[in-house]
Amino acid sequence: MRRSAVLRRVIFTGTLFFCWVVFFGSQSFSQHEKLRVNANRIKQRIMELAEFGKTQQGGVSRVAFSEANIQGRNYIVSLMKEAGLKIQIDEAGNIIGQRKGKEPKLPPILFGSHIDSVPNGGKYDGALGVIGAIECVQVLDENGIVTRHPLEVVVFTDEEGGLVGSRAMIGELTPEALEVVSHSGKKVRDGISAVGGNPDEISLVMRHKGEIKAFIEIHIEQGSVLETKNIDIGIVEGIVGINWWDVLIEGFSNHAGTTPMDMRHDALLAAAHLIIAVNRVATGVPGRQVGTVGRIQCEPGAPNVIPGRVVMSLELRDLSAKKINTLYEKIQKEAKAIAEKTKTKISFTPIDATAVPAPTDPQISKFIAEAAQELGLTSILMPSGAGHDAQNIARIAPTGMIFVPSVGGISHSPKEYTRPEDMANGANVLLFTILKIDQ
Amino acid sequence: MRRSAVLRRVIFTGTLFFCWVVFFGSQSFSQHEKLRVNANRIKQRIMELAEFGKTQQGGVSRVAFSEANIQGRNYIVSLMKEAGLKIQIDEAGNIIGQRKGKEPKLPPILFGSHIDSVPNGGKYDGALGVIGAIECVQVLDENGIVTRHPLEVVVFTDEEGGLVGSRAMIGELTPEALEVVSHSGKKVRDGISAVGGNPDEISLVMRHKGEIKAFIEIHIEQGSVLETKNIDIGIVEGIVGINWWDVLIEGFSNHAGTTPMDMRHDALLAAAHLIIAVNRVATGVPGRQVGTVGRIQCEPGAPNVIPGRVVMSLELRDLSAKKINTLYEKIQKEAKAIAEKTKTKISFTPIDATAVPAPTDPQISKFIAEAAQELGLTSILMPSGAGHDAQNIARIAPTGMIFVPSVGGISHSPKEYTRPEDMANGANVLLFTILKIDQ
């Protein structure tokens, strides 16, 4: 063969290779542009899962560690196997469905949610995040797509009982938390054993920074912002911090008939002023912070007795811990003035139910926004006002959350409903986001 | 005997008679100016009575028809006998101690109160009115004074359980009221039998207009007006009317984390505005009306859930039924505006615990004022914000009430206290008032 012929062949082969590289290199893009989850399959599986713990009201009671929860977990494991995932139950009872990547040394991309419910809850909270995650893997499987990173579909243990599984994964599930009695009646420790975990080796579950490429969770919004604004996708900027206080208002209980208006120390009147002050403070600055008084007890509590003592709750939520603190300081200042005006004493006791704000990863949020756009969906940035496993994982790995509309903003209720097309939208966005992270 | 001598004797005798008439006719006045009750005896008897149903907290639990109540009644009967009264237990179980007057055909002057207490109550509420009344009779007895009118010391049955004895006396104790279970655990019917009444012949107790010359009751104020203003005697203008309502506020319960402030229908926030409105309306016009929200229940009642439903009480009291109505109309108007502003629904349901205002008799109040003045005591006109047997008797007879200071305004409590000198002041005013009415 002449040198020129060899050169031509080399050039030809090189050109072919170049074309192959150009074609197949971009193929992942063109493939992913056409990829779509199966909306019917998602809907059908949501309904099948809802059979476990089904209630007469049309919802589900599938509290963690209950018989219904265990049956539901078995159902999910069967779906994972169908999608080609390798099943592992970790020491915290989290179900991990693993899929190999082309580059086994890369850290895995995690996605998922939970399938335990609150007592008398709905079909979608948590369930969508799990069914949607399995759907993504199944679509990749059906299309013969192997990602660079390993993938892990996670079903976290006992989310509704205090984010148990995800707390274990960040190494913050305390020995005390294991002794708490869960909704099922079982201690968390015994529940974890019942689902195949090992409460005595919980620390093995812990993952460290850098060990997870990313975590993404789809979830129903549980509010009515998306529905009201007619938006398809909520890109969660972060999970809000939550602070709780018990507010004690001490007045003086007295005969309502014999105590003139100007001689009263009416604790309920003071409480009323404070409830309005909380609302005024929470709405008085720009932002999406919320302030709530949801519980109130008034003593002695008779129509003909001036209330002498009121105990009520105060809850503040925002993405910024600093803002929560500023709001709290304003409320305290208002309380001082109210106490003086009403001749009562007002004191605040923090309740240990605090969650620190958990910002999501801006790069992942950008991927979610691009994915939505490519899918022709509208999206907005929004906080998650509710707690999620994502808030824990956000502390060790770049995390993103995808919200889809809740009809009527209702959740934790048998009336919880999300339309099949919205569930599919969420899963498609998740699929695109995984592929974007993977590249 | 010469005619002139006869004439002189007649003139002399006539002059003597005139002098006698002038002397003894005015003697009732001079006597009554010097008459005083025995302050020590009142104090001692209050303490002796307080032995029946004595509590560890230093108060009394002597609820109507209880064993302690029956023993207390027996003690009172013994005191009445010592004061020369003739005892009768009427069909409603009221103890009536009768004393003849010079003119038996005149209607009797009644005075007294009750000796049953609330559970865990104090030593003075009711007791002072009874012990003070007996003291007046005993002082008359000790001073050989016989009034023109017959006198009757009355101990009404089960005042704290709904003014049972006085309701019977005005013919308004219904058959249903007899079936109510009293604080003692006994039905009122059985209680009345237990104290010597006859529930099947209750109608015999009824007295008609004109059959009672007057009724006067001493009572501790149960408020702090007299103490605060440093006044000895309260002259009760009337017992206030009382109206009760249940107020239902319907919002929409929702997740406090996921529902923005401007999308809420917060029933407790609406309630807070209404509690303040009640206070504003009650204090917004001159007068001594009072408005109270003493009971509140909020559902579902969790710190992280926006309240969807509040039920609270509303109580209005005033001497004028018309004014109560005007205040209620104002509150309703405010409620309408609040409901609109907070996107809630507010409705009022009257509770059948209504007492109509019962004005006392102006002439008797004038006598009480004169009596106080003659005794060197300060006095003011004031409403009774609490209910009393006097409010029933006021409907069939001219009625007066004498208040003495309650230390700290406290009543229905073991801490209830009235100083011995104040108790004696009240009894002296009662004594003078009886004599004034009698003339």
- Across the interface, which of A256, A300, A315 has its CB nearest the CB of B256? A315
CA distance B272 to chain A (A): 4
- The size of chain B, in residues, is 439
As a whole number of angstroms, the distance between CA B322 and CA A13 comes to 105
Chain A positions in Cβ-Cβ contact with residue B225 (cut-off 8 Å): 258, 260, 263
Give backbone dihedrals phi and psi of A160, rounded to 5 degrees, phi first.
Answer: -70, -15
Asked if B385 is an interface residue toward chain A (Cβ–Cβ < 8 A), one would say yes
- For A120, the enclosing helix (H) or strand (E) is none
Number of Cβ within a 10 Å radius of residue B95 = 26
Q: Where are the alpha helices (DSSP H) in A63-217?
A: 67-82, 127-142, 164-169, 175-179, 188-194
3-state secondary structure A323-341: HHHHHHHHHHHHHHHHHHH
- Partner-chain contact B222 A314, CB within 8 Å: no
CA distance B323 to chain A (A): 16
Q: Nearest chain A Cα to B278, which residue?
A: A269
As a whole number of angstroms, the distance between CA B426 and CA B428 comes to 5
CA distance A409 to chain B (A): 8
pLDDT at B32: 76
Asked if A327 is an interface residue toward chain B (Cβ–Cβ < 8 A), one would say no
pLDDT at B372: 98
- Across the interface, which of B255, B290, B293 has its CB nearest the CB of A385? B255
Question: A436 is written with which tokens?
Answer: 């974007």
Q: Where are the alpha helices (DSSP H) in A91-207?
A: 127-142, 164-169, 175-179, 188-194
Q: Angle of helix A39-49 relative to helix A67-82, nearest 10 degrees?
A: 150
Choose, out of A258, A342, A407, A418, the residue to mutate when testing the contact with B (most B CBs < 10 Å): A258
Residue type, A245: W
Of chain B, the percentage scoring pLDDT greater than 70 comes to 92
pLDDT at B11 over 80: no
Asked if B305 is an interface residue toward chain A (Cβ–Cβ < 8 A), one would say yes
Residues B311 and B293 sit within 8 Å (Cβ to Cβ):
no
- Partner-chain contact A302 B279, CB within 8 Å: no
Cβ-in-10-Å burial (0-12, 13-18, 19+) of B297 comes to middle
As a whole number of angstroms, the distance between CA A142 and CA A166 comes to 30
Give the pairing of strands A290-292 and A309-318: antiparallel
* Contact residues for B71 (Cβ-Cβ < 8 A; gap 6+): B52
- Partner-chain contact B268 A293, CB within 8 Å: yes
Asked if B261 is an interface residue toward chain A (Cβ–Cβ < 8 A), one would say yes
Give the pairing of strands B86-89 and B95-99: antiparallel
How far out from the chain centre does Cα A199 lie? 24
Give backbone dihedrals phi and psi of A121, rounded to 5 degrees, phi first.
Answer: -95, -160
- Partner-chain contact A279 B269, CB within 8 Å: yes
* Contact residues for A411 (Cβ-Cβ < 8 A; gap 6+): A121, A122, A124, A125, A220, A222, A386, B255, B258
CA-angle at B402, arms to B398 and B407, nearest 5°:
155
Chain B positions in Cβ-Cβ contact with residue A358 (cut-off 8 Å): none
- Across the interface, which of A240, A258, A386 has its CB nearest the CB of B223? A258
- Across the interface, which of A222, A302, A315 has its CB nearest the CB of B294? A302
Give the count of Cβ contacts less than 8 A between chain A and B: 201
Chain B positions in Cβ-Cβ contact with residue A257 (cut-off 8 Å): 222-223, 240, 242, 290, 317, 384-387
- Across the interface, which of A296, A305, A409 has its CB nearest the CB of B258? A409
pLDDT at B84: 97
Residues B250 and A243 sit within 8 Å (Cβ to Cβ):
no
Asked if A98 is an interface residue toward chain B (Cβ–Cβ < 8 A), one would say no
Residue type, A306: I
Q: Where are the beta strands (DSSP E) in A141-268?
A: 151-156, 214-220, 233-239, 241-250, 254-255
Mean pLDDT of chain B: 93
As a whole number of angstroms, the distance between CA A159 and CA A317 comes to 19
Residues B62 and B69 sit within 8 Å (Cβ to Cβ):
yes
CA distance B26 to chain A (A): 40
Question: Which band of pLDDT confidence, cut at 50, 70 and 90, is reported for residue B25?
Answer: very low
Render the burial of A382-410: b for 16+ CB within 10 Å, e for the rest: bbbbbbbbbbbbbebbbbbbbbbbbbebb
As a whole number of angstroms, the distance between CA B351 and CA B360 comes to 26
pLDDT at A32: 75
Q: Convert the pLDDT of each residue in B160-215 to its tens digit.
A: 988 999 999 999 999 999 999 998 999 999 999 999 999 999 999 999 999 999 99
Choose, out of A222, A229, A275, A292, the residue to mutate when testing the contact with B (most B CBs < 10 Å): A292
Residues A216 and A434 sit within 8 Å (Cβ to Cβ):
yes
Residues 157-186 on A with a CB inside 8 Å of B are none
As a whole number of angstroms, the distance between CA A403 and CA A234 comes to 5
Number of Cβ within a 10 Å radius of residue B283 = 15
As a whole number of angstroms, the distance between CA A433 and CA A427 comes to 10
Residues B229 and B308 sit within 8 Å (Cβ to Cβ):
no
DSSP state of A368: H
- Partner-chain contact B273 A272, CB within 8 Å: yes
Residues A59 and A180 sit within 8 Å (Cβ to Cβ):
no
Residues B75 and B126 sit within 8 Å (Cβ to Cβ):
no
CATH, domain range A242-350: 3.30.70.360
Asked if B380 is an interface residue toward chain A (Cβ–Cβ < 8 A), one would say no
Residue type, B153: V
Q: Convert the pLDDT of each residue in B289-316 to its tens digit.
A: 999 999 999 998 888 889 999 999 999 9
Of chain A, the percentage scoring pLDDT greater than 90 comes to 85
- Partner-chain contact A315 B304, CB within 8 Å: yes
- The size of chain A, in residues, is 439
- Partner-chain contact A291 B223, CB within 8 Å: no
- Across the interface, which of B240, B256, B258 has its CB nearest the CB of A294? B256
Asked if B257 is an interface residue toward chain A (Cβ–Cβ < 8 A), one would say yes
Residue B114: which of B150, B74, B186, B163 has the closest Cα?
B163
Residue A130: which of A432, A425, A423 has the closest Cα?
A423
Residues B60 and B52 sit within 8 Å (Cβ to Cβ):
yes
Residue type, B329: E
Chain B positions in Cβ-Cβ contact with residue A315 (cut-off 8 Å): 256, 303-304
- Partner-chain contact B307 A294, CB within 8 Å: yes
CA distance A282 to chain B (A): 8
Residues A375 and A432 sit within 8 Å (Cβ to Cβ):
yes
Q: Convert the pLDDT of each residue in B272-283 to its tens digit.
A: 999 999 999 999
Asked if B273 is an interface residue toward chain A (Cβ–Cβ < 8 A), one would say yes
Q: Nearest chain A Cα to B229, which residue?
A: A263
Decide which of B1 and B147 is more confident.
B147
Asked if B407 is an interface residue toward chain A (Cβ–Cβ < 8 A), one would say no
pLDDT at B3: 56
Output A21-30 pairs: Cβ under 8 A, ≥24 positions apart.
A28/A145, A28/A435, A28/A439
Number of Cβ within a 10 Å radius of residue B119 = 16
- Partner-chain contact B294 A291, CB within 8 Å: no
Residues B94 and B148 sit within 8 Å (Cβ to Cβ):
no
Residue A92: which of A19, A228, A184, A189 has the closest Cα?
A189
As a whole number of angstroms, the distance between CA B402 and CA B18 comes to 38
Residue type, B105: K
pLDDT at B14: 53
Residue type, A215: F
Residues B393 and B208 sit within 8 Å (Cβ to Cβ):
no
pTM of the full structure: 0.81
Output A172-179 pairs: Cβ under 8 A, ≥24 positions apart.
A172/A392, A173/A92, A173/A202, A178/A202
CA-angle at A61, arms to A58 and A62, nearest 5°:
130
Asked if A317 is an interface residue toward chain B (Cβ–Cβ < 8 A), one would say yes
Q: Mean pLDDT of successive 10-residue segments in chain A (439 residues)?
A: 58 52 46 89 98 94 97 98 98 98 97 94 96 98 97 97 94 93 94 98 97 98 95 97 95 90 96 98 96 95 91 96 97 98 97 84 98 97 94 97 95 93 98 97
CA distance B221 to chain A (A): 8
Residues A72 and A78 sit within 8 Å (Cβ to Cβ):
no
CATH, domain range B38-239+358-438: 3.40.630.10
Chain B positions in Cβ-Cβ contact with residue A221 (cut-off 8 Å): 258
Question: Which band of pLDDT confidence, cut at 50, 70 and 90, is reported for residue B24?
Answer: very low
As a whole number of angstroms, the distance between CA A378 and CA A405 comes to 12
Q: Nearest chain A Cα to B221, which residue?
A: A258
CA-angle at B64, arms to B59 and B68, nearest 5°:
55
pLDDT at B20: 47
Question: A100 is written with which tokens?
Answer: 């190999």
As a whole number of angstroms, the distance between CA A351 and CA A333 comes to 20
Asked if B311 is an interface residue toward chain A (Cβ–Cβ < 8 A), one would say no
Asked if A388 is an interface residue toward chain B (Cβ–Cβ < 8 A), one would say no
- Across the interface, which of A298, A351, A386 has its CB nearest the CB of B255? A386
Give the pairing of strands B109-114 and B309-318: unpaired
User: What is the average pLDDT across B357-381?
Assistant: 97
Number of Cβ within a 10 Å radius of residue B146 = 13
Residue type, A208: H
Asked if A386 is an interface residue toward chain B (Cβ–Cβ < 8 A), one would say yes
- Name the residue ranges covered by the structural domains of chain B: 38-239+358-438, 242-350
Choose, out of A281, A297, A304, A344, the residue to mutate when testing the contact with B (most B CBs < 10 Å): A304
